[in-house]
Amino acid sequence: MTAANETTKVQIPGLLHKLGKMTSIRDTALLEQSLLKTLCPMLGVLDSSLYRIDDLAMSTRVLHHHLSRIVEPDGVARLVERTEEIFNSSSIASDVRQLLDNVRLLSKPCTRRRAQSEDLLIAYPLYGGREICGYFVFSRDREVTLTEDAIIKGVLEVFANYYDLLDVSQRDRLTGLLNRQALESSFERIWTILSRSTDPVGTADPRRTPTATHAHWMAVIDVDHFKNINDGFGHVVGDEVLLLVSRVMAAELRSSDLLFRYGGEEFVALFSAATREDAAAILERLRESVEQHGFPQVGQVTVSIGFSIADPGDLPQQVLSWADRALYQAKRTGRNRVCDYQALVEAGEMEAASYGGSELF
């Protein structure tokens, strides 16, 4: 028996055990982390990355997994795992970007020599259905063997199939947006990312004002007089309106921004902008796009929006409550408008409220 076969024989039980643990996970973010934790030891690498892309093949999110060897004072060595997730992808190294382009164009794994290094940079495509939706990337000093190649492809296929099943449960069936469950279950993870995010602006989206860093904002968006639409035109037309509104709003946000259908005719957006004025301008543009869109049978539809800065020092539920209070003010003062919670408080139009002072629905 060759050394490669002997190694594979030893790895298979451990790999099957890890696949079993991976498919017991019920959260897509944890599933992505599990993928990297499964493949890193098998490939003998300390670092690996998962790049997620949108429909335009632009990278929207990167997950890095690091293993570090720590030697304790008593001389015992142990491995420490660290996973880092970022939504900003403008700082992807040029050699990585070129490699991902080759994988996308050839629809197969590709390898290239790292700049000023003897290591090889290796990337595999990750499929969602028949389309490439991401890349698995790692670096080491040797080529992938045929056995390793088969294992990587097999693990990625299991991951992709299971991820799709989980993703369906976190999506709204009508609009395809992430649902309320997805938002509430990922609050802690999102807030952790915001606490270390600087989100420098590149040239990816000219609608964002260039600045060194971005703040993050949460908006609650409600379709005005939606009950009248359902009562007057029927639920089929009402559903069509919700679908179109979600598409119009998504078109005004970047692929790295998050948009959720929170319930009924209410949506939640989490996005980045340099200043309060920039955040308000983005939401005004979104509001105007909905107002100017021609909806079949219904004609004009409008939305009311309330928003708040999403400071990672505040509880996410508190920020959501503040944005909801601003939405209430927008609806109370005429609808089809955008209201900023902090601006309302500063102007004396609304009293500052701690978490629990307002309830959604």
- Residues near 156 by beta carbon (within 8 Å), at least 6 away in sequence: 35, 124, 126, 127, 136
CATH topology of domain 3-169: Beta-Lactamase (3.30.450)
- Please say if the pLDDT value at position 8 is more than 50: no
- Please say if the pLDDT value at position 70 is more than 80: no
Q: How many Å apart are CA 236 and CA 44, to the nearest integer?
A: 54
The pLDDT value recorded for residue 95 is 86
Calculate mean pLDDT across residues 139-159.
92
Residue type for position 235 = H
The pLDDT value recorded for residue 41 is 85
The pLDDT value recorded for residue 150 is 92
Cα–chain center distance at 204: 17
How is residue 2 annotated by DSSP? -
> What residue has token string 């964002």?
208
- Please say if the pLDDT value at position 151 is more than 70: yes
pLDDT tens readout for residues 116-134: 778 899 999 999 878 898 9
Q: How many Å apart are CA 219 and CA 260, to the nearest integer?
A: 10
Which range (74-78, 165-169, 190-194, 339-343) has the least confidence? 74-78
Structure tokens at 165: 């099943």
Residue pair 126/50 in contact (Cβ under 8 Å)? The answer is: yes
The pLDDT value recorded for residue 88 is 56
Q: How many Å apart are CA 44 and CA 75, to the nearest integer?
A: 22
Residue of higher predicted confidence among 23 and 250: 250
Structure tokens at 199: 């989100």
Q: How many Å apart are CA 163 and CA 283, to the nearest integer?
A: 32
- Please say if the pLDDT value at position 359 is more than 60: no
- Percent residues over pLDDT 70 in the chain: 83
The pLDDT value recorded for residue 79 is 66
- Please say if the pLDDT value at position 305 is more than 70: yes
The pLDDT value recorded for residue 196 is 58
Residue of higher predicted confidence among 58 and 201: 58
Banded pLDDT at 232 (limits 50, 70, 90): very high
Which range (71-75, 213-217, 285-289, 355-359) has the least confidence? 355-359
Long-range CB contacts for residues 67-72, cutoff 8 Å, separation at least 24: 67/40, 67/41
- Please say if the pLDDT value at position 32 is more than 80: yes
Banded pLDDT at 358 (limits 50, 70, 90): very low
> What residue has token string 């400071």?
311
Sign of CA dihedral 279, 212, 311, 93: positive
Residue pair 211/274 in contact (Cβ under 8 Å)? The answer is: yes
Cα-trace Rg, the chain: 23
Calculate mean pLDDT across residues 93-101.
88
Banded pLDDT at 326 (limits 50, 70, 90): very high
> Which parts of 129-214 are beta strand (E)?
131-140, 178-179
Calculate mean pLDDT across residues 288-313.
95
Residue pair 313/236 in contact (Cβ under 8 Å)? The answer is: no
The mean pLDDT of the chain is 83
Domain-by-domain residue ranges, the chain? Answer: 3-169, 178-346
How is residue 145 annotated by DSSP? P
The pLDDT value recorded for residue 19 is 82
Structure tokens at 355: 């978490």
Residue pair 297/279 in contact (Cβ under 8 Å)? The answer is: no
Residue of higher predicted confidence among 255 and 311: 311
Residue of higher predicted confidence among 164 and 69: 164
Calculate mean pLDDT across residues 1-18.
58
> What residue has token string 């408008």?
337
- Whether this model's pTM surpasses 0.75: no
Which range (18-32, 145-159, 194-208) has the least confidence? 194-208
CATH topology of domain 178-346: Alpha-Beta Plaits (3.30.70)
